Amino acid sequence: MADSKPQIGLLGIMQELYDAMLPGITERQAAYARDVAQQLSDVADVHFPRPARNRADIEAIVDEFERGGMDGIMVVMLTYGPSMNATRALTRTRLPVMLANIQPERTITPEWDMGDMTYNQGIHGAQDQANLFARADISLPVITGDWHTEPFKRDFEDWARAAAAVSLWSRLKVAIFGYHMNGMGDTRVDAADMLRELGPQIDYLSPGELYRAMQAVSDGDLQALIESENAQFDVDPRLSTSQREESARFQLGIKRILDEGGYLAYSTHFGSIGDDGRFNFLPLAAASSLMAEGYGFGAEGDPCSAALVAAGHVLAGTANFTEMYAMDFYRDSILMSHMGEGNWKIARSDRKVRLIDRPLGIGALDNPPTFLFQMRPGAATIASLAPMGGSEFRLIVSEGEILDTEEMPKLEMPYGHFRPDSGVRECMNGWLRAGGTHHQVMNMGRHAERWALFCELLDIELFEV
């Protein structure tokens, strides 16, 4: 998911009356729209079928975008076009809509005539369309700018990625193996509320289904995965053959269930795995590698973080599941880690990721093979989806950086020091007041703007701390 481009439909609006005044204008403006699509092609696949010159055209093209699997619709006014033609199509579509307030030419010259004025008059068509959304009380992201430039392309990519993440959630299925951790309240959500308000569907699957899928893994697939790990990672010689094989069976078995069931995110709870009695250890390495493949993951039966990691892959590239473990007031940072699940694609590049034999008493099981690494230094963003009860959700976001710190030789799980831009005190005060949960998604880079667009498109609260 992290590597795929957003699929965006370009709805180019004009009207028929200009054809008699300026013969060839439709073809001319269609060429302009194709140029815009090409300019943006390295950040999204932009599909422009034809100009929309009347209500029937607009409704037909929007229907094509919906049936064609587009992630969002970028409206471009090829000339002025009356908003009444677009009213039903654009206010009823299930796809996110953005208005690109652009025009063919970047500057006005003394040579302009009435034809040039008409070719570049999209601005008042944009005002008509925007008023339509304001009157309908529908949020409409707007990007004004010179479409030839990198700033416009960056703004477009931010919106396109947010639209793709929202589109993913509209069809996302989250598999929970077993049950939610008893007593943990901040990640508990009503499945009907989440499906109705945000889109993700939560299904609870039995650990027995996982066990059967593990037993069905072929010897060839098992050995291929183990050999791949041997080539890629620094493998602890203390790991036994049986540990390596069961860990690989976990990964391949979970992947098979996810793929066959159409799930792009999942969660396991150590209690469910431990209580079942058929598993020797927890599937920590499996979670790390499946996140590296682009699946969403949340621990302890948490569907919110699993869905958010899946969205994070699409929104901002490789995503990681993590949580805040402890505060460091000397570094003004927070130690980020979890029991052992961490996406090794965000590991620092100057050290080989280790696959270790990790003693762990949680779940009263044997030592689980675990990936050990430090997070890559650099800019980073963390986010948490907080259910507030009923139809209310909010997203808490913090930008900052992963610090370049010394190793912690006694810590046998993925970790990194996150320094919030706002500082630990202000960040944590804001996080706690907003009800931010103790599970987070982390992306490398600064992506608060994309998360803000994601919230705007879903109509949920955003708290940046």
One domain, residues 182 and 164: no
> SS3 string of the chain?
CCCCCCEEEEEEECCCCHHHHCCCHHHHHHHHHHHHHHHCCCCCEEECCCCECCHHHHHHHHHHHHHCCCCEEEEEECCCCCHHHCHHHHHHCCCCEEEEECCCCCCCCCCCCHHHHHHCCHHHHHHHHHHHHHHCCCCCCEEECCCCCHHHHHHHHHHHHHHHHHHHHHHCEEEEECCCCCCCCCCCCCHHHHHHHCCCEEEEECHHHHHHHHHCCCHHHHHHHHHHHHHHCEECCCCCHHHHHHHHHHHHHHHHHHHHHCCCEEEECHHHHHHHCCCCCCCHHHHHHHHHHCCEEEECCCHHHHHHHHHHHHHHCCEEEEEEEEEECCCCEEEEECCCCCCHHHECCCCCCEEEECCCCCCCCCCCEEEECEECCEEEEEEEEEEEECCEEEEEEEEEEECCCCCCCCCCCCEEEEEECCCHHHHHHHHHHHCCCCCEEEEECCCHHHHHHHHHHHCCEEEEC
pLDDT at res. 184: 84
For residue 203, give its domain range.
172-464
Q: Are residues 151 and 241 both part of a single domain?
A: no
Overall pTM surpassing 0.75 (yes/no): yes
* Domain at 141, CATH number: 3.40.50.10940
Residues 302 and 271 in one domain: yes
State whether 163 and 226 are in the same domain.
Answer: no
Looking at the domain assignment, is residue 450 inside a domain? yes
Say if 320 falls within a structural domain. Answer: yes
> Pick from 144, 170, 196: which residue ends a domain?
170
Residues 288 and 373 in one domain: yes
25 in any annotated domain: yes
- Local confidence pLDDT in tens for the 465 residues of the chain: 556 899 999 999 999 988 888 999 999 999 999 999 999 999 999 999 999 999 999 999 999 999 999 999 999 999 999 999 999 999 999 999 999 999 999 999 999 999 999 999 999 999 999 999 999 999 999 999 999 999 999 999 999 999 999 999 999 999 999 888 888 888 899 999 999 999 999 999 999 999 999 999 999 999 999 999 999 999 999 999 999 999 999 999 999 999 999 999 999 988 888 888 899 999 999 999 999 999 999 999 999 999 999 999 999 999 999 999 999 999 999 999 998 999 999 999 999 999 999 998 787 889 999 999 999 999 999 999 999 988 899 999 999 999 999 999 999 999 999 999 999 999 999 999 999 999 999 999 999 999 999 999 999 999 999
Q: Are residues 153 and 265 in the same domain?
A: no
Which residue has tokens 């076009």? Answer: 81
| Residues 298, 446 within the same domain | yes
Which residue from 403, 399, 418 is spatially nearest to 337, judged by alpha carbons? 418
**pLDDT at site 53:** 96
Do 279 and 360 have their domain in common?
yes
Q: What is the pLDDT of residue 2?
A: 59
> Do residues 221 and 359 share a domain?
yes
The answer to whether residues 120 and 235 belong to one domain is no
- Boundary-marking domain end, from 149, 170, 191: 170
Domain-ending residue, one of 170, 200, 233 = 170
Q: Is residue 2 part of a domain?
A: no
Domain for residue 244, yes or no? yes
**pLDDT of amino acid 269:** 87
- For the chain, the domain total comes to 2
Q: Which among 305, 97, 87, 107 has a CA at the least distance from the CA of 187?
A: 305
Same domain, yes or no, for 415 and 343? yes
Closest residue by Cα to residue 194 from 443, 460, 464? 460
Say if 239 falls within a structural domain. yes
Check whether residue 149 and residue 183 sit in a common domain.
no
Q: What is the CATH number of the domain that holds 253?
A: 3.40.275.10
Q: Is residue 270 part of a domain?
A: yes
Is position 402 within any domain? yes
